[in-house]
Structure 1
Amino acid sequence: MAKTMMLMHSRTSHAAWHAAHLSARVGDAGVASFAAQLRSRFEYEFLGCSWSSESANFSLQRRGSKNLASIQATLTEERPFVTRVPPVEKSNKALAYELVQGALARWSEVRDRATPEPPTAVLLHGILGGRRNWVSFAKRLAQAFPTWQFLLVDLRCHGESASLRKRGPHSVVSAARDVLQLMGQLRLTPRVLIGHSFGGKVAMSMVDQAAKPLARPVRVWVLDATPGKVRSGGDGEDHPGELIATLRQMPSSLPSRRALIDALTHKGFSAGVAQWMTTNLKSTTGEVYGDGSVYKWVFDLEGIADMYKSYEDTNLWSLVDNVPEGVHIDFLRAERSLHRWAHEDVQRIHLAEQIASSEGAGVQMHVLEDAGHWVHTDNPDGLFRLLTPTFGGTNFERF
């Protein structure tokens, strides 16, 4: 008997989603649940669908494998992705997140456990960023790979997760544990972890904290971050540490976004970074892009300062030197990176490539040309091409 998947066709970029809360325990139990779930491989078969839109209502029923390609093509054209944004609940201390689903991905918090889980990729932002940094890129991935879903997370002290007021220490390890707990609560088994800068170290720490040996394959992409101590770039322009220090010296309330831009550019930061920082302001009315006359930060700046210090000092070379079986770690260095990639770091990664390949794991080094530290905005096409094989794709030209 064919199963049915309801696809809601939406032309809006965001859709409000209110789901029942899971009764699953989190904390250490959630982390253990995450590790246990990783033992299952995704086996997905599209059995049928019921589709509705403003102009038509009809059903498509699978009648043999020959029809599958045409059905998928129709669905991906009409419903390239769906974005779900659940409300932030302070009671369960779960991180705020956003789920971008491909046209053929079927999942919800209250799903039938007999239904196969679609392959999931988790995208993690860097210091002073937020899940919104990944939205456009995630939608592009969802359109290109319609059976996948992409989980975008606000890390502790950032975005909507800042309101949770999580206890310290605010560190790479704590941030990774938060995401593991979220995975346990959602009962999701990520097959790919993609982290930019600080988020890259969080992704590595997630693997490091999970049970070993890992009885499942997982791909980890570390975007413009080294496993060890962080080295600053040449002239220090837009350096995160200096930016945090400057922000801490500013008043907690600002009269306008323009005031922030002027203050940061006067201190020598680029106009692009100054403009980007305005996305972390909210008006007194509570609207991030409101018209109020007074603006405050949406993040916990003191907590972020602790997180960045942890990012600078956290050493995860032991993971790279001893990659668990079934894990593949890809390091991506931006051609114009703000961070110095020391020659010895690059050589050590290349050595790890040889060792890992002989032990059933993997390490690989990539260079993204024509990109600074903000790889997914500086060269999204190049990043997309590098990531395409991870999701099983080869033809990326139409996306």
Structure 2
Amino acid sequence: MARLIRNKQGIPSTLLTRFLNSPSSLLTLPYYSTSKRSLRTLAYEEIQANPNKPYTHTAFILHGLLGSARNWRSFSRTLVSSLSDSPSEWRMVLVDLRNHGNSAEMEGLDPPHDLVNAAKDLGNLINSKGWESPDVVIGHSMGGKVALQFAKSCGNRDYGENVKLPKQLWVLDSVPGEVTSDNSDGEVEKVLQTLQSLPSTVPSRTWLVNHMLDLGFSKSLSEWIGTNLKKAGGEETWAFNLEGAVQMFHSYRELSYWSLLEHPPKGLEISIVRAEKSDRWDADVITRLESLASPEGDGSAGKISVHVLPSSGHWVHVDNPKGLLEIMAPKLKSLMP
């Protein structure tokens, strides 16, 4: 059973969400300490298996569009558990990107709301806390492109000398190039257009889910959208800044990171995980990615690896968390203390 934690205002927050539960076989874990922070830069949560021990390694985890840090709590706890037998002590930092989760209410996260500034927010967070740079950055969907932008900017030293390249970058079911109408089914656009057509408050979560179902959206998607509501008096309102998120989505579609994949910086391994059943990948993109997968080499440049997550759609941490863990954990364990 998940431990209940409280933030500074004394509001309870469960460690697992209804929609994003992992299979029960993955939930027989030790208890974990989870701390929550809200900064002027970004809101984030920390998960560490042994909070009384100093951590030796840090991984940042970045959610996708209209998501939040809480979407990744369950998988992060499972990942920490799988790493507990290594000599390293891992800390997971689950970030709420700008316009999302608790960061949606943060002051100082000014426009333009694009991936360049979303990645810069990470650099500002590191600098403001005086942290060392994360060893690993993990990004899902839109968060995967934020991770790629972060690595690109670190390579250019855009955030100062203190913010260095991570050793590993994980891009989870995120197409690295431009996303055009030709290689998109348009579902995300339809969701955003639907949300924009609604008032800023709705009667209840049940009303929203039923409304989405009536419009032809799937039950799982409708329920997930419903998890992004928060109380506003007697009604419910969005837990994200919708207009800012829409701007971030446009940036996600427009930016391409093929050049980074073709010339990865020395010391960085970029691991691309493609979900086997995901509808976001064209055959030519898959072929191009596989051609970039690099052998060990002589160490003069970075490395690209490509993995296929079987029996999974786009929601990799929900559809096949065990398989994702089996791909990621050995590589994280390979990082020396």
TM-score (norm 1): 0.70
3-state DSSP of counterpart to 1:133: helix
For 1:216 and 1:257, locate their aligned partners in 2 and report how far apart those are by CA, in whole Å: 41
Matched residue, 1:270: 218
Aligned to 2:294: 354
Work out whether 1:102 is the aligned partner of 2:36. Answer: no
What residue identity is the alignment partner of 2:260? L
Query: Runs in 1 of length 4+ with deviation above 3 angstroms?
Result: 15-18, 77-80, 104-107, 211-217, 231-237, 354-360
Q: 1:346 to 1:381 in 2, by over 3 A?
A: same
Q: Work out whether 1:305 is the aligned partner of 2:246.
A: yes
Distance in 1 separating the partners of 2:271 and 2:214? 37
Asked if 2 retains the 8 angstrom alpha-carbon contact of 1:106 and 1:118, the reply is no
Aligned match of 1:164: 106
Cα separation, partners in 2 of 1:11 and 1:255, compared to 1, 3 Å: closer
Q: Which runs of 5+ in 1 are unaligned?
A: 1-9, 19-76, 108-116, 286-292, 394-399
Distance 1:345 1:11 in 2: 40
Q: Is residue 241 of structure 1 aligned with residue 175 of structure 2?
A: no
Residue type of the partner of 2:242?
L
Evaluate the alpha carbon distance shift between residue 352 and residue 296 of structure 1 in structure 2; reply closer, same or farther with a 3 A threshold.
same
Cα-to-partner distance string for 1:168-218 (whole Å, 9 max, x where unaligned):
111111101101111222213211111000000000100100145997661
Report how far residue 357 of structure 1 moved. Answer: 3.7
Match for residue 315 of structure 2 among 369, 374, 390:
374
C-alpha distance 271-138 of structure 1, shift in aligned 2 (>3 A): same
RMSD of aligned residue pairs (Cα, Å): 2.6
The answer on whether the counterparts of 1:233 and 1:337 sit within 8 Å (CA) in structure 2 is no
Identical positions, percent: 35
Q: Structure 1 residue 119 and structure 2 residue 57: aligned?
A: yes
Q: Structure 1, residues 326-381: CA drift from partner, whole Å, max 9, x if none? A: 00001111112131x22222222223223884544210111111111111011111
1:214-240 CA-partner distances (Å, limit 9, x unpaired): 976611110011111125698938x22
Q: Residue type matched to 1:103 in 2?
A: N
Are the aligned partners of 1:333 and 1:366 in contact in 2 as well (CA < 8 Å)?
yes
Partners of 1:159 and 1:183 lie apart in 2 by 19
Q: Which residue of 2 aligns with 1:204?
A: 148
Alpha carbons of structure 1 residues 267 and 320: separation in structure 2 relative to 1, 3 Å: same
Deviates more, 1:383-392 or 1:149-158: 383-392
List runs of 5+ in structure 2 lacking aligned partners. Answer: 10-27, 158-162
| Contact in 2 for aligned 1:102/1:145 (Cα 8 Å) | no
Residues 1:193 and 2:137 aligned together: yes
Larger radius of gyration: 1
Check whether the contact 1:100–1:138 (CA below 8 A) recurs between aligned residues: yes
Query: Per-residue CA shift, 1:100-154, capped at 9, x if unaligned?
Result: 01226735xxxxxxxxx52001100000000000001111112222311100000
**Partner secondary structure for residue 179 of structure 1:** helix
Partner of 1:84: 35
For residues 190 and 348 of structure 1, the distance between their equivalents in structure 2, rounded to whole angstroms, comes to 28
Give, as a single letter, the amino acid of the residue that structure 1 aligns with 2:35: R
Q: Measure, in 2, the Cα distance between the counterparts of 1:143 and 1:366.
A: 22
Of residues 277, 284, 302, the one that matches 2:232 is 284
Matches within 5 A, 1:30-179: 80-86=31-37, 88-89=38-39, 93-103=40-50, 106-107=53-54, 117-146=55-84, 147-165=89-107, 166-179=109-122
Please name the residue that 2:177 is paired with.
228
Normalised to the residue count of structure 2, the TM-score between the two structures is 0.83
Shift of 1:266: 1.3
CA positional deviation for 1:247: 0.4
Q: Contact 1:81–1:103 at 8 Å: present in 2 too?
A: yes
Moved more, 213-222 or 365-374: 213-222
Q: Distance in 2 between matches of 1:191 and 1:105?
A: 20
Counterpart of 1:255 (choices 199, 203, 208) is 203
SS in 2 for 1:170: coil
Conserved? CA contact 2:58–2:134, under 8 Å: yes
